[in-house]
């Protein structure tokens, strides 16, 4: 019997996965999903912040098409809707969310039903910005990837998936994305329970996180034991193996798990 099949049903365990644009948040979520829900997909559900972009006005859409609307600003997100959906999910209720079409800059007609799951992964650049939303998470992860790598990934993604031009992408990145990351996303790194340098490439980090999630779901480790203390030198232990992750008050570039 696999580790996933041994998990007992209980209150959903909500995990927030934040980080800058193209840092690898979705890949981290998928890797955790593949490992935790290997034999039972219903064990894990993924929710993306993209589903909560608000409807744009006609003027905002015009600006968006030329790269002049800031999707990385908190005001671009329907915070109350995201709060309600995540609250319902944590209460064990099924929810429906609309997808966002970045080619048309509008809500898609496609609606996704998210069923209750043992583990709910929520990914997005601003999911730790709003305190009410932040406080819903049982575990908070921050994917820390260097800016050059993130920009290269964003260029490739936006050209291939969103039909953007290189000029449009660089204009948006330099004038909106980068300043918004520094003002709104990066400061929320301090709220993370675990900082993951290099994202899903960091196999040691993913292994330890998955192991800890499984232990929590089996009832072997109290959730509160996971959360780090406020001490600058604090850390946490997974099954007695001291990890080398950085806590929220430490710099992530001094110790990098390999």
* HEC string for the chain: CCCHHHCCCCCCEEEEEEECCCCCHHHHHHHHHHHHCCCCHHHEEEEEHHHHECCCCHHHHHHHHCCCCCCCCHHHECHHHHHHHHHHHHCCCCEEEEEEECCCCEEEEEEEEECCCCEEEEECCCCCCCHHHHCCCCEEEEEECCHHHHHHHHHHHHHHHHCCCHHHHHHHHHHHHHHHHHHHHHHHHHHCCEEEECHHHCHHHHHHHHHHHHHHHCCCCCHHHCCCCCCCCCCCEECCEECCCECCCCCCCCCCCC
- Percent of the chain beyond pLDDT 70? 79
pLDDT of the residue at 235: 34
Q: To 10 degrees, the CA torsion angle through 158, 161, 164, 170?
A: 10
Confidence of residue 222 (pLDDT cuts 50, 70, 90): low
Domains of the chain (ranges plus CATH)?
4-242 (3.40.50.300)
What is the pLDDT, as a whole number, of residue 232? 32
205, 194 contact by CB (below 8 A):
yes
Average pLDDT over residues 67-71: 93
Phi-psi region of 109 (alpha: psi -120 to 50; beta: other; left: phi over 0): alpha
Average pLDDT for 13-41? 90
Tell whether the model's pLDDT for residue 251 goes beyond 70: no
Which residue is listed with tokens 């990934």?
A: 153
pLDDT bin (cut points 50, 70, 90) of residue 39 is low
Helix 203-217 to helix 25-36 angle, to the nearest 10 degrees?
50
Residue 255: Cβ within 10 Å count: 14
pLDDT at 253 over 70: no
184 in Cβ contact with 129 (< 8 Å):
yes
Residues near 40 by beta carbon (within 8 Å), at least 6 away in sequence: 4, 5, 7
- Summarize pLDDT for 168-201 with one digit per residue, the tens: 899 999 999 999 999 999 999 999 999 999 998 9
Torsions phi, psi for 241 (to 5 deg): -100, 110
Beta carbons within 8 Å of 208's beta carbon, 6+ residues apart? 238, 241, 243, 245
Q: Mean pLDDT over residues 88-102, rounded?
A: 92
């Amino acid at each position: 019997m696999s580790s996933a099949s041994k998990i007992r049903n209980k209150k959903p365990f909500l995990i927030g996965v934040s980080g800058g644009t193209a840092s690898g948040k979705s890949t981290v979520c998928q890797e955790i999903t593949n490992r935790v829900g290997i034999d039972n997909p219903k064990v894990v559900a993924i929710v993306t912040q993209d589903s909560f972009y608000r409807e744009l006005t006609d003027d905002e859409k015009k600006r968006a098409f030329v790269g002049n609307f800031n999707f990385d600003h908190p005001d671009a997100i329907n915070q109350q809707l995201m709060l309600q959906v995540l609250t319902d999910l944590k209460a064990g209720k099924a929810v429906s969310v609309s997808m966002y079409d970045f080619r048309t800059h509008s809500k898609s007609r496609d609606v996704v039903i998210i069923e209750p799951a043992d583990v709910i992964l929520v990914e997005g650049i601003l999911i730790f910005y709003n305190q009410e939303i932040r406080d819903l998470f049982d575990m908070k992860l921050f994917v820390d990837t260097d800016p050059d790598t993130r920009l290269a990934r964003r260029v490739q993604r936006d050209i291939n998936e969103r039909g953007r031009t290189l000029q449009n992408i660089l204009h948006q990145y330099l004038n909106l994305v980068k300043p918004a990351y520094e003002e709104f996303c990066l400061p929320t790194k301090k709220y993370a329970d675990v900082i993951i340098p290099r994202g899903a490439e960091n196999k040691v980090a993913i292994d330890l996180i998955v192991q800890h999630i499984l232990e929590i779901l089996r009832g072997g480790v109290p959730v509160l034991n996971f959360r780090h203390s406020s001490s600058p030198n604090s850390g946490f232990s997974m099954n007695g193996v001291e990890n080398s992750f950085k806590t929220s008050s430490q710099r992530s570039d001094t110790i990098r798990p390999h």
